[in-house]
Structure 1
Amino acid sequence: MRHAETVTFGGSALDRAGEIRSNPEAIGAALKDPDARAILFWRGKPLIATARPAHLARLPLDHPVLADAGDDIILLGREDGAARFAYDLSSWQPEDLDEAALGGFLDPSEQRHPALGEVMAFAELRRVMTWLSPRDAELAATGRAMFSWHRSHGFCAACGHRSDMAQAGWQRVCPACKAAHFPRTDPVVIMLITQGNSVLMGRSPGWPARMYSLLVSFVEPGETLEAAVRREVFEEAGVRVGQVSYLSSQPWPFPASLMFGCAGEALSRDISIDPVEIEDALWVSREDMMEIFAGNHASILPARKGAIAHFLLENWLADRLD
């Protein structure tokens, strides 16, 4: 697919500086570089400079706000030869924090640290991802995914001992049994299933009213992407799929997925949903999808802008899947 890497979180060609992760001297020098910058996160939310055009904030490493950061930092990569480090401020407690507003399908809340004023805020990445440049989006997605992995994998899976961060944040090592652990990414297929002039759309329980999207599935052990597409479409919608092809991928750090966008040709239009898996499924014509994208459809909303489902459907409508 010619436009594959224009998907959100893709295509910025970030220099990840992998060759210095295991070199403490090089990391120390990078931390002393006056051009190095800190990228901050609070409970997975990146710090955004909110004045339009909004962008990912980059702070000098001697900024006072870093006094509230945890000790563990992660080397995200380099920009123009200078390092970019991720810092976690999750231990900071904002005043009048509304916990109920956090972690929902779309968290609209913003948290502002007193050392940063009103021009910067921690914001939910899914809400602001389309505001960001490709480079800002990749840095934000990487930092969010890495801190999420460290929070959920703090203990050795081999012996249960508390593990330590290593490799500039890209590894955890158990001091007891010496086992090494690496960041986890879960493969997920998302399927653009078509038959003639129509595409198969589904809806999960608990989604906002009128929201439909492409079907998705985790890839099971021992399974190819193609097999996962055929299995899940049949399990969820009762539709048999023939030829399957790869289109594009998207890192999706909510919390740790790599979405593989695939096209599939349905062998029939008969739908029989599994109500445990999905709430509804239906065929949508190209003409109706154009109305949906224009916001004119009475019963279906467009897929979330910035997500690979929206990207694939947009390219399908524009006949740009080759």
Structure 2
Amino acid sequence: MQDTNPPLGFATNGLVRHTSERGDAALVRHAGDPQALTVLFCGDTPLLRREGEGADGPLGALHPQPVLDGIAIAVQVFLGTLDGRPVLATAAPADAVEALATRTGAEPHDLRGLATQGLVPEREIGLLAQAKSLLSWHLRHGFCANCGAPTRLSASGYRRDCDACGAQHFPRTDPVVIMLITRGDRCLLGRQARFPTGNYSCLAGFLEPGETVEDAVRRETFEEAGVRVGTVSYALSQPWPFPSSLMIGCVGEALGDALDIDREELEDARWFTRDEVRLMLANAHPDGLRVPPPVAIAHHLVRLFVT
């Protein structure tokens, strides 16, 4: 049977990035191109336009660049090209949302919800993640970490330069390991207190400096659930723009099944059989237990376990 679930959230991006063409002149040239498109944020909130008729029609993330005429711009970066047209990401002040919504007919939307609802075309949802991560980085790194002087945008938005001390600063991506731990016909899932009632997911944690992905999986699993892990293998990854993480999905083989749960990290953790997980994926578990929706990498890790 064909899987009709939405694709992994934020993982599809239709842009050609043009990494070798990111001089400052490229940003100026593309920003002045009447054919250019822009992804528009007010603060951390994207503005999307409704395509087609009706309130439930698909949403588009791209606006013609000229809609910004006369609008104050906090940050603008060059993302790449889509079907040959330049695409920029633009951060307008948060208080400009009403003016821009009136001018463009666009609406503010929650970025997490967009991925869940599947209303944005696949190739644009990853583009939104790219724009959000870059713009958030610029808005939070206006001063040099080396000397404290103001920095300026450079390399079309993929670097900030400090003219005072000569330091160059690059956008950061925070690696996070997220792992499905298995032992025979069972897998380990946990839940935090903030999760919706009945939701269980894979364990996860940030990769620490000087640590391999495999050792991060082993450390986080032992710290959170008291389970020692042997072999670790990579499965898949997912950009997660809140603000700029990369979820590295892994599968690990447990060396034992005794649990010692860190109650400050987890409300609960338990072993589930494949049959139980199938019921959770189908929202048919007799106790109302579920796994995350298809937008989340945890859903796909769990699905790999039962197929």
Q: Structure 2-normalised TM-score?
A: 0.89
**Does residue 57 of the first structure (1) align with residue 61 of the second (2)?**
yes
Q: Distance in 1 between matches of 2:132 and 2:244?
A: 9
Q: Distance in 1 between matches of 2:243 and 2:157?
A: 17
Q: How does 1:37-76 map to 2 (within 5 A)?
A: 37-51=37-51, 52-63=56-67, 65-76=68-79
8 Å CA contact 2:189–2:202 kept in 1: the answer is: yes
- Percent identity at matched positions? 41
Q: CA deviation at 1:303?
A: 0.7
Q: Distance in 2 between matches of 1:155 and 1:273?
A: 41
8 Å CA contact 1:20–1:27 kept in 2: the answer is: no
CA deviations on 1:17-64 (whole Å, 9 max, x unpaired) are 22221151x33332333321111012322222345552333222211x
Aligned residue for 2:164, secondary structure, equals coil
Q: What's the counterpart of residue 17 of structure 2?
A: 16
Q: How does 1:218-297 map to 2 (within 5 A)?
A: 218-297=206-285
Aligned residue for 1:126, secondary structure, equals helix
8 Å CA contact 2:30–2:78 kept in 1: the answer is: no
Give the AA of the match of 1:314.
R
CA deviations on 1:247-269 (whole Å, 9 max, x unpaired) are 11111111111111001011111
Q: Distance in 2 between matches of 1:200 and 1:139?
A: 33
46 and 154 in structure 1: CA distance in 2 versus 1, 3 angstrom threshold: same
Give the AA of the match of 1:83.
P
2:113 to 98, 109, 127: 127
Q: Distance in 2 between matches of 1:315 and 1:55?
A: 30
Give the AA of the match of 2:305.
W
Q: CA deviation at 1:68?
A: 3.1
Q: Distance in 1 between matches of 2:217 and 2:302?
A: 17
Aligned residue for 1:305, secondary structure, equals coil
Give the AA of the match of 2:292.
A
2:295 to 306, 312, 317: 306
Q: CA deviation at 1:288?
A: 1.2
Q: CA deviation at 1:13?
A: 5.3
Give the AA of the match of 1:300.
L
Q: Distance in 1 between matches of 2:28 and 2:43?
A: 26
Q: CA deviation at 1:315?
A: 2.7
Q: Output the aligned Cα RMSD.
A: 2.0
8 Å CA contact 1:68–1:91 kept in 2: the answer is: no
The number of residue pairs the alignment matches comes to: 294
Q: Distance in 1 between matches of 2:182 and 2:279?
A: 18
Q: Distance in 2 between matches of 1:114 and 1:124?
A: 18
Q: Distance in 2 between matches of 1:310 and 1:8?
A: 11
What runs of 5+ residues in structure 2 fail to find an aligned partner? 1-6
8 Å CA contact 2:182–2:188 kept in 1: the answer is: yes
**Does residue 83 of the first structure (1) align with residue 86 of the second (2)?**
yes
8 Å CA contact 2:15–2:81 kept in 1: the answer is: yes
Q: How does 1:49-198 map to 2 (within 5 A)?
A: 49-51=49-51, 52-63=56-67, 65-93=68-96, 113-117=101-105, 120-130=106-116, 131=118, 132-198=120-186
Q: What's the counterpart of residue 107 of structure 1?
A: none
Q: CA deviation at 1:166?
A: 1.0
12 and 54 in structure 1: CA distance in 2 versus 1, 3 angstrom threshold: same
Q: What's the counterpart of residue 32 of structure 1?
A: 32
Give the AA of the match of 2:47.
L
CA deviations on 1:214-234 (whole Å, 9 max, x unpaired) are 000111111100000011101
CA deviations on 1:191-239 (whole Å, 9 max, x unpaired) are 0111112211111232222222100011111110000001110110011
61 and 267 in structure 1: CA distance in 2 versus 1, 3 angstrom threshold: same
Q: Structure 1-normalised TM-score?
A: 0.85
Give the AA of the match of 2:107.
A
